[in-house]
Chains A and B, each alone.
Chain A
């Protein structure tokens, strides 16, 4: 049958993806720790995905771990990242016919993501974001970015500097001038 519904759109892919995630590959952090991760989950990283595709799945599964050399990929960060991709690999795929980039950007984080990214250790949080950026996991970078922006919301410059440990490299005069220029934003009706 030409129009057999079971073969439309290849959404039997879901089963293939589930099967592939049973295959475990090894990822090595910059500190030397080696961690297992499902193949489909690991391929949420475009960096890993490209490596797997150039080496071939069989090679990746049987040989040495994939080395993630960037300093941000610490053991702790890599463990967090694996936790995230293992939770999200079976998310419904983004449908570009319907979902607007803009809508997605404005969407609030899910409850799970909020809890996941709300870590007390800011060095670890920044490692996770930088590592996700290096590994090219766009969804996770977005989670980190939204989290930081939600913490900046409504805060003064000084509060933001203290929270994110940002060095103020403006002179007092420069800072004052910018403040004056932006004074309109505080205007009441």
Chain B
């Protein structure tokens, strides 16, 4: 075509890696050609490709081929990948696995029931061919102590740790109920663990504790009877930095005892607590106060009421005064006491997430004075509520005006099901009057809409 532009020339050289084919290349490349990059940058760029894309595009060019697998440091195995790789026969499979020369970590925690039996053999092939392999993230299954015996010392993470805090634990169990506890004792380097019941980390006959020095731990169900197990667990895992706990209880004593145990974790930085309280008499205010006074490193706190049918867990946020370093707070289904100027003790907060918080306009009223460092605000609400309460969850223009006064706010996210009581103009007004706000994201019925300056 006559209109075609002559490419601008650049004399950027690729790094000479001594490869003969490379040396014969002219050292001038078009500026709009990816050929201009040296191997280091080329590989860095390709390091964000999926496994499928890497194999499909391997023969784009020689430079592509020699950099595309070098940059793979960790991989996550999926059902489809396992299914495909297991159909490969003999030598070819080894040739493919050898391509991952620099692989350090393999994550296979999302493999479903259907393929879990095949996981050990796939891991063994990687183990035999990738000499840099150091860490395996994997769940423990029946017979793990036999099928995975040489792999167990490499396991550092068991069970999926969700970034989001859900009402129930993860769907895929970290440890199968009928897997033998012996497997766990061979995972010397285990640092992340997610399990359903505390009894899984104790030997089923001797009662000996099987895990030490964990960093991140998530427990789906803490029960009244787990008191002594928790005490032993805490004593052996003083290194815990992040803890997720869901507890259902009928007794205040359980809550108090739990807070005493958690208070013995000096390194704790991130705590997520879910409460299912079987009586309106129970209160978690004291529990929170004790933890805050003792775990002085806590920076992130998530509180959730698990008995969410009536959204009745009343909470004054006064106890947060004892959390001196608290930066991120998430409240789910919590009915915040609005009479006591709720965020008066939260001057250091940078992130606040409110999920189904009643009387939201009142809650946010003095936020701009109390939370002068707040950078990120997330609010989740829905119209699909008990009819009489519905309006109290809604974001209205009054709410927006409170929000636009937050002095440090950079990012505002509303997630909502139903309809909104504000329009695009209202949001643009928030953007222009708010001093630091960069982006508003609206996730309305799963459709994303963005507003930025």
Question: In whole Å, how far is A94's beta carbon from the nearest beta carbon of chain B?
Answer: 13
A181 touches B (CB below 8 Å): yes
Is residue A23 contacting chain B, with contact meaning CB distance below 8 A?
no
B32 touches A165 (CB 8 A): yes
Check A9/B325 contact, CB under 8 A, given A129-B41, A165-B32.
yes
A65 to B49, CA, bound (A): 38
* Segment from A33-41, A44-52, A56-64, A151-159 that makes contact with B: A151-159
B396 at the interface (CB under 8 A from A): no
For A102, the chain B residues whose CB sits under 8 A away are 74, 105
Residues on A with C-beta less than 8 A from B30 are 123, 165
- For chain A, the bracket of interface size reads 35 or more
A156's partner among B46, B56, B376, B436 (CB-CB below 8 A) is B56
Nearest neighbor of A177 in chain B, beta-carbon distance: B59
Query: B84 to chain A: which residues have CB within 8 Å?
Result: 184-185, 187
Given the contacts A126-B31, A165-B30, A165-B32, A141 and B56 also touching, CB distance less than 8 Å: no
Interface string of B309-337 (1 = CB under 8 A from A): 00000000000000011000000000000
Assess the A167–B35 pair: CB atoms within 8 A.
yes
Complex Cα–Cα for A122 and B373 (A): 39
* Docked complex Cα distance between A112 and B450 (Å): 9
The answer on a CB contact under 8 Å between A149 and B53 is yes
- Provided the pairs A111-B452, A145-B48, A187-B84 are in contact, do residues A123 and B324 lie with their beta carbons within 8 angstroms? no
B344 at the interface (CB under 8 A from A): no
**Neighbour of A178 across the interface among B35, B58, B450, CB < 8 A:** B58
How near does chain A come to B292, taking the closest CB pair, in angstroms?
12
Per-residue CB proximity of A145-189 to B under 8 Å, as 1/0? 110110011111100110011111110001100110110111101
Given contacts A111-B452, A123-B31, A144-B45, contact A72 B60 (CB under 8 A): no
Residues of B near A112 (CB, < 8 A) are 438-439, 452
Task: Please tell me if the beta carbons of B325 and A153 are within 8 angstroms of each other in the complex.
Answer: no
- Tell me, yes or no, whether A103 is within 8 Å of chain B by CB: yes
List residues of chain A with CB within 8 A of the CB of B410: 90-91
> How many chain B residues touch the partner (CB < 8 A)?
69
Residues of B within 8 A of A14 (CB): 373
**Given contacts A92-B350, A161-B60, is CB(A166)–CB(B53) below 8 Å?**
no
A54 to B373, CA, bound (A): 32
Cα distance A110–B410 in the bound complex, in angstroms = 13
B61 touches A167 (CB 8 A): yes
B33 / chain A contacts, CB cutoff of 8 Å: 126, 164-167
Determine the distance from Cα of A141 to Cα of B50 in the docked complex, in whole angstroms: 18
| Residue of B with least CB distance to A146 | B48
**Which of B87-95, B166-174, B201-209, B380-388 forms part of the interface with chain A?**
B87-95
Task: Please state if A127 and B31 are interface contacts (CB–CB under 8 Å).
Answer: yes
Partner pick for B61 among A71, A123, A161, CB 8 A cutoff: A161
Q: Is A53 engaged at the interface, CB distance under 8 Å to the other chain? A: no
Closest to B61 in A: A166
Shortest Cβ distance from residue A87 to the other chain B in the assembled complex, whole angstroms: 7
Q: Are A157 and B45 in contact (CB under 8 A)?
A: no
- Residues of chain A in range 105-138 having any CB-CB distance to chain B below 8 Å: 105, 110-112, 121-123, 126-127, 129-130, 133
Which one of B8-16, B121-129, B178-186, B414-422 is at the A interface? B8-16
Q: Bound state CA distance, A170 and B57, in angstroms? A: 13
Whether A169 touches B21, Cβ cut-off 8 Å, given contacts A112-B452, A178-B65, A181-B95, is yes
Q: Is the CB of A182 within 8 A of B58?
A: yes
Query: Residue on A with the closest CB to B59?
Result: A178
Q: How far is the CB of A161 from chain B (nearest CB, A)?
A: 6
Residues from chain B with Cβ under 8 Å of A185 in the complex: 52, 55-56, 84
Residues of A within 8 A of B85 (CB): 184
Whether B61 and A141, one on each chain, are in contact in the complex, defined by CB atoms closer than 8 angstroms, is no
The 5 closest A-B CB pairs, nearest first, are A165-B33, A123-B31, A149-B48, A178-B59, A164-B34
Which residue numbers of A lie inside 8 Å of B, CB to CB?
3, 5, 8-9, 11, 14, 71-72, 87, 90-92, 95, 97-98, 102-103, 105, 110-112, 121-123, 126-127, 129-130, 133, 141-142, 144-146, 148-149, 152-157, 160-161, 164-170, 174-175, 178-179, 181-182, 184-187, 189
A97-B270, A185-B56 are known; give 17 further A-B pairs, CB within 8 A: A3-B324, A90-B410, A91-B410, A92-B375, A111-B452, A126-B33, A145-B46, A149-B46, A149-B49, A153-B49, A153-B53, A165-B33, A169-B61, A184-B88, A184-B96, A185-B52, A185-B84
B contact set with A: CB distance below 8 Å: 7-8, 10-12, 21, 25, 30-37, 41, 44-50, 52-53, 55-65, 74, 83-85, 87-88, 92, 95-96, 105, 163, 241-242, 269-270, 296, 299-300, 324-325, 348, 350-351, 373, 375-376, 410, 436, 438-439, 441, 450, 452
Of the A-B pairs whose beta carbons lie under 8 Å apart in the complex, a sample of 16, sorted by A's number, is: A3-B324, A5-B324, A11-B373, A71-B10, A95-B299, A98-B242, A105-B47, A111-B450, A112-B439, A112-B452, A123-B7, A123-B31, A152-B57, A160-B57, A184-B88, A187-B84
